[in-house]
Amino acid sequence: MDTHARITEADFRANEAKRLTELAGMIRLCGKTPKEIADACNIDKRTVLRALRAEPLKSDAQARIEYYIKITLQQNGV
């Protein structure tokens, strides 16, 4: 008996779209400009702009942005 969930390609695509949309929302919520985020994360501003458009990023760039936003929101009491 197979007890593992069957995840379809459509499920993976939907999850990826949701994840990227959530990251874009987090960027907007933090109130920083793409340049401010890029400078703080030591990445190219175009990477932040891709994230704002909910486009895929390299995992390390995404992790930097998420960490920066988490710290920024904590500092702002959000």
Rounded CA separation 59/10 (Å): 21
- pLDDT band at residue 11 under the 50/70/90 scheme: very high
| Encoded amino acid at 65, one letter | I
**Is position 1 within any domain?**
no
Q: Which residue has the tokens 């920066």?
A: 68
Encoded tokens for 24: 């874009």
Rounded CA separation 68/40 (Å): 7
Q: Tens digit of pLDDT for each residue in 53-71?
A: 999 999 999 999 999 999 9
**Is position 52 within any domain?**
yes
Residue 76, classed as helix, strand or coil, is coil
**Is position 3 within any domain?**
no
Q: How many residues does the structure list for the chain?
A: 78
Q: Tens digit of pLDDT for each residue in 29-38?
A: 999 999 999 9
Phi, psi of 63 (to 5 degrees): -65, -40
Q: Which domain holds residue 13?
A: 9-75
**Is position 44 within any domain?**
yes
Count of structural domains, the chain:
1
- pLDDT band at residue 1 under the 50/70/90 scheme: low
| Encoded amino acid at 71, one letter | I
